Amino acid sequence: MKKLKILSAFVLALVLFSACEDNTDTYVNQLYTNSQKIQAITTCLNSSVDSAVAHLCTYNGFYNYKDAAYRIDFANLQSSIFDTLANHNYGFMTDSLILRANRLAESCAANVSSAYKDAVSDLDIENPDKLFYGESGTITDYFKFMKYDYIKNALQSPVSIRMELFNVSTLWNDILNIYRQYNPAPVTVDIQNQIVTGLMDGIFEEMRLEEELIRTDSTHRVEGDSILVR
């Protein structure tokens, strides 16, 4: 997503003044009000969401973006269910499940954007200085801590609908039926919740990377977060 490349006179003043090593941030505090800092923080979050969605909620985003760094692969099942199927020549079913789950996550752009931005608009920022002057990732980490459950609940319904559309539920039930032929032990795996969690983990990680770029690279700043500089 192309962003407006706006570097304000305030930023130039801040960058120039930082060379004077004002370790107290007194000068910066005089330049920007709490309201301006909060606006910069929320704009940073919204921009980071846009970037994360553009990278991951698109074809091959989760499945193969950055050499599959964000692929939802149900790693915790590898040593039990998936290995059992592979040992009995059903490995193709687990491969299909992984592909379909990632295609599901990639189809959720509008839902992810809505859930995350609704959470941003409802975010309570009591100490903007701590986030404004924080290290790269501080804003995203705070947002994740405060709104993780809110976003997770918001994404359950759209993911549930897509579990049927992408035949994930049917395939998962088929996998369990085959697995039980070789291991009758009860299986308590919430596959939908794992998809939601994997989706969110990828989005949050991409948001952290974008926050770092916003803080360090003027080409990633838009009007509203242009004062957010490391």
Identify the residue with better confidence: 230 or 82: 82
pLDDT at 2 exceeding the cut of 80: no
Global confidence as pTM? 0.82
Mean pLDDT of 204-213: 96
Residue 10 pLDDT: 31
pLDDT at 4 exceeding the cut of 60: no
Indicate if the alpha-carbon torsion angle 49, 55, 58, 62 is positive or negative. negative
Q: For the range 147-152, what are the long-range contacts, defined as Cβ-Cβ under 8 Å and sequence gap of 24 or more?
A: 147/119, 147/120, 147/122, 147/123, 148/200, 150/119, 150/122, 151/115, 151/116, 151/119, 151/200, 152/196, 152/197, 152/200
pLDDT band at residue 186, thresholds of 50, 70 and 90?
Answer: confident
Residue 5 pLDDT: 31
